[in-house]
Amino acid sequence: MPKKRSLAAQERTYGAPSSVLRRALLGGLVLVVLLAVAGLVAYLTRAESPASAHPSPSPTSTPPTASPEATADEREAVASPPKTSDPIVFAKAATKVLWTYDTRSFSRAEHVAGLKRWMTGEKKYADWDSVSDQIPSPVLWSRMHDNQQRATAKVGEGHFPQAFKTALAQDPGAITEAYVYAVTVTGKQSIAWKGSGSGAESRSTTLAVQCRPDTACALVGVLPNVAP
């Protein structure tokens, strides 16, 4: 790791206490609505899913990214969501775009618009605030642009958290209310900026993903804590 940290690392504003509290409260609500399992840990509040119902396909099912030779006009600020019904495959793809950005070529508005395409259209469950909290603020994005900061991500493993699987086993029918799944993904984010500045860190996150039958998966939100 370099001695000098990236601007995003220095000034992460998307983890503000008010946002965490809001996500925790929403998570609790989703837990009650979807699982109705009173003893489930609050941080896992947000979705449920049969761990055995959707085996994780190989990473090759994730849509390819644009070629390095493509210009900014030819590339998208955020890759398009994959058309898959597998919550783990979708969560891994969503994690990659959440950890990837290029302030040199795209504005924050373009980045935000790209991420919104991943969200579920069901307002009852969508938690855009938890996703937007992953994006640097407009002021920070401008500073990162001046510093030519960009990030790439390599996603590794994805799985259903144990508490989630336990909750589903206790109430198998709960998933049919909203078909929202909790998925924990691990990987590594690499960041670079002008000059020789660069760094990398291992990361993990737990996402809420909606995968209704015969419908492509969509992102519901990001849980406030990582569920093992």
Q: What's the pLDDT tens digit per position in 101-128?
A: 999 999 999 999 999 999 999 999 999 9
Q: Is the pTM of this model over 0.75?
A: no
Identify the pLDDT of residue 138: 97
Identify the pLDDT of residue 11: 46
Identify the pLDDT of residue 201: 96
Identify the pLDDT of residue 195: 86
Does pLDDT of 147 surpass 60?
yes
Mean pLDDT to the nearest integer, 21-46: 39
Question: pLDDT by residue (tens digit) across 46-99?
Answer: 333 333 233 333 333 333 343 344 444 457 899 999 999 999 999 999 999 999
Mean pLDDT to the nearest integer, 166-187: 93
**Across the chain, what does the average pLDDT equal?**
78
The confidence band for 196, taking pLDDT boundaries of 50, 70 and 90, is confident
The 150-159 sheet, strands edge to edge: 101-102, 150-159, 180-192, 198-210, 218-222
Could you give phi then psi for residue 212, rounded to 5 degrees? -75, 155
Does pLDDT of 38 surpass 90?
no
Rounded to whole angstroms, how far apart are CA atoms 77 and 209?
Answer: 22
Rounded to whole angstroms, how far apart are CA atoms 19 and 64?
Answer: 33
Rounded to whole angstroms, how far apart are CA atoms 188 and 30?
Answer: 29
Identify the pLDDT of residue 108: 97
DSSP letters of 98-111? Answer: HT-EETTT--HHHH
* Residue of 25 and 199 predicted with greater confidence: 199
- CA distance readout (Å), 76 to 73, 82, 102, 111: 8, 14, 10, 9
pLDDT above 70 covers a percentage of the chain that reads: 68
